[in-house]
Amino acid sequence: MAAAGWLQSALRPAGPDATRIYGLWVFMLWISAAVLLVVIGALLYGTFRRRRSRPDSDQQHTRQRRMTRAVATGAGVTVVILFAFLVFDFSVGRALGAPRRSGFEIELVGHRWWWEVRYLAPALPARVTTANEIHIPAGAPVLVRLKSNDVIHSLWVPDLTGKRDLIPGKRTSLWLQADTPGVYRGQCAEFCGQQHAKMALLVVADTRAGFDQWYASQLAPSAVPTDSVTMQGRQVFLTYACALCHTVRGTPAAASLGPDLTHLASRRTIGAGALDNNRGNLAGWILDAQSIKPGVDMPPNHLEPDEAQALLAYLETLK
């Protein structure tokens, strides 16, 4: 039932920032492994070397000097290694934050427990709002401005870059850039309450043409029902609780407590990565989201079977 197929890994960098972080990680790993080997070697040497008979005072002096020299060398090497880590870490941090030419900006708002994604003009023709899925053109840097109105969340798409917190009352930002088209999973990385674990999102990197096409389709208002079932479905949507929290552009539903559903059917998951977006999961989510993701704002909805079927048929048209 859970949304599958998208794995995340910091060890499989797919963008320039993740590649930098990976390089730092590999450097630290090998140096630390070498240090560990040297320490274990010294320990074994000290444990198993043959003890000589009681040394005279001359030998004792020599031994003392050798030990002092060994400890001083060890301390010196440690300082050099830590300093190298510091410099490398600092340079990676600077590179991640360095200004780039961004084609457009995205505002990402963390909610308990989902992600609101707003595409900001001016480079794009007008504003698009979606949820739990960030589309970007591959090969181009996109500035993501991070915001939270409730608690601290943290955006982490390990294949693409490092973590950045979303802090209420404070503006933070992050560059997202993917080398090649692909779908990259991200996860809230700061404990934010009961459903922190089910606060995932997908970054969909597309070709420039593919992205433009996606953006144009998102810009369009919602699909207009063409048959009696979907017409009934839209009626159900507008008369029951749905319209109190959600927006479907092109209808009177314009609330913003929950995700914008104008193009719900174009998204890969529902419930912020909790489930694959298909009819069965959507039905379960609408009727009783609390059993899937206890604590979410989405209330249970008591619908007659024909109303539920009509609503599902309508939602499936919202491509």
Interface positions with ligand CUA (CB under 6 A)? 110, 113, 153, 188, 190-192, 196, 199
The nearest distance, CB 112 to ligand CUA, in angstroms, is 7
Nearest approach in angstroms of CB 156 to ligand CUA is: 10
Pick 164 or 234: Cβ nearer ligand CUA: 164
Q: How far is the CB of 98 from ligand CUA (least distance, A)?
A: 27
Q: Which of 189, 7, 9 is nearest to 115 (CA)?
A: 189
Residue closer to ligand CUA, measured from CB, 188 or 310: 188
User: Could you give the residue ranges of the DSSP H alpha helices within the chain?
Assistant: 16-48, 57-97, 208-219, 228-239, 242-245, 279-292, 305-316
Q: 8 Cβ partners below 8 Å, 6+ apart?
A: 157, 158, 159, 184, 185, 186, 187
Place of tokens 């949507």: 237
Residue 249 to residue 262: CA distance in whole angstroms: 6
Minimum distance, C-beta of residue 149 to ligand CUA, in the bound complex (Å): 12
Instruction: Report how far residue 65's alpha carbon sits from residue 77's, in angstroms, rounded to the nearest whole number.
Output: 18
Nearer to ligand CUA, 83 or 191 (CB): 191
- Which residue is associated with the tokens 């320039």? 16
Task: Closer to ligand CUA by CB, 111 or 234: give it.
Answer: 111
Quote the least distance from Cβ 299 to ligand CUA, whole Å: 21
**Cα–chain-centroid distance for residue 203?**
8
User: Of 118 and 196, which has the nearer Cβ to ligand CUA?
Assistant: 196
